[in-house]
Every structure is written in structure tokens, then in C-alpha cells.
Amino acid sequence: MQAYWLSRNIAALALVFSLAACADFDDPGPVATHASGAYPRIDSSGPRQQCVPYARNRSGIGIWGDAWTWWAKAAGRFERSHQPATGAVMVMIGYGGDDHGHVAVVRRVLNGREIVVDHANWLNHGEVSLDNPVMDVSDDNDWSEVRVWYTPGHHYGGRVYRVAGFILRSGPEERVASR
């Protein structure tokens, strides 16, 4: 009996290890955990909000217009970067068509591949998502593609979103206004 049990478990382990070799470790897929230091939650207690006015008010970056236009509108007015920074606005573009986008405010950088953002209307109900993890899944670790934490399901979403970049609070416009 013991020999049968041992051979059965060894066969099961061999199958597990052989299947693990087929896994694609470059693509994390929907990941069930995020780095420590993020506490995602949804606030639906206030009035319904859209991402643009929320990001503008939360960040102090005075850009108006649809989210997908923010990257171009920031040129020459605010410093732009392809690396996240606390207080910057992440501009996501091109999902659901070229004239769709989303903006979120970086709350903090957790590590080289994860940040935490605050943003409104991500789940399309006017809610505010706070301390929401975002993972860089770009091949070059350049923050050009991300996955966003899906708070109701407690995992990173399976969809990849393109990022134009990060608009920083400091720039020519802010320096002129602070004089």
C-alpha cells in the first residue's frame, strides 16, 4: 500500500514539474497578490466622479479635456516622464479606441515594477479607487504597459493598458505660478 501511495505521489509531482516548465514567466497574467504597502479600497460614499476632474483636483495639475489628450496638452507646460513619481499623473491611452483614456494620480512607488494610484471611475460607477496597485508588465520595464489591480476580485486584471507616461507636478507652469 505504501509503495502504491509513494509511486502515485511521485507521478503527480512529476506532472506538476513538467507543466511548470511550460509556464511563461515573462507574462504574470492575472496575479492574485501585490507588493506590500498597498491597501486597495473603493470609496463610493461621495458624489459620482470622473477620472479627469478627480486627477486635476488631487494632483494640482491644471489640464482640462479628455484623459487621452492630457499627455499632449502637458507638453511644454509640465515636466513629463516615462518613470512614475509620487504625485504624478499616469496617463493611460488607447483602450476602447484611440480617443479613450484614463488618468490616475500616483500615491507612491512600491518598487521598480509596482506603484499605487488613486483614481476615479475605474469601475465605471463614479467611485474613487484608493491605494490601487498598478504593475508594469512592459518587456523593457519602461512603464509603457500596465495591469491594474481589480479590487472587487482581489487580483491584477488580465487586460494590459498602454501608458503614454507620467505628468509631474513640477514644470514651467508650476514654477511660474509659484513666484
- Residue 168 near residue 79 (C-beta atoms within 8 A): yes
Nearest to 121 by CA among 65, 42, 56: 42
Q: Which domains does the chain have, with CATH numbers?
A: 2-177 (3.90.1720.10)
Flag the least confident range among 2-6, 61-65, 102-106, 149-153: 2-6
Please give the pLDDT value at position 2: 57
Sequence-distant (6+) residues with CB within 8 A of 50 are 120, 121, 126
Please tell me the distance from the alpha carbon of residue 18 to that of residue 90, in angstroms, as a whole number. Answer: 40
Model confidence at 19, in pLDDT bands (50, 70, 90)? Answer: very low
Nearest to 116 by CA among 139, 140, 93, 86: 86
Res. 29: pLDDT tops 80: no
Res. 160: pLDDT tops 60: yes
Amino acid at 23: A
Mean of pLDDT values over 146-168: 95
* Tens-digit pLDDT profile for residues 115-153: 999 999 999 999 999 999 999 999 999 999 999 999 999
Instruction: Tell me the sheet residues that pair with 145.
Output: 162
Flag the least confident range among 28-32, 60-64, 66-70, 171-175: 171-175
Please give the pLDDT value at position 170: 73
The average confidence (pLDDT) of the chain is 84
Model confidence at 12, in pLDDT bands (50, 70, 90)? Answer: very low
Cell of 16: 506538476
Res. 176: pLDDT tops 50: no
Instruction: Tell me the sheet residues that pair with 42.
Output: 129
* Tens-digit pLDDT profile for residues 86-118: 999 999 998 777 889 999 999 999 999 999 999
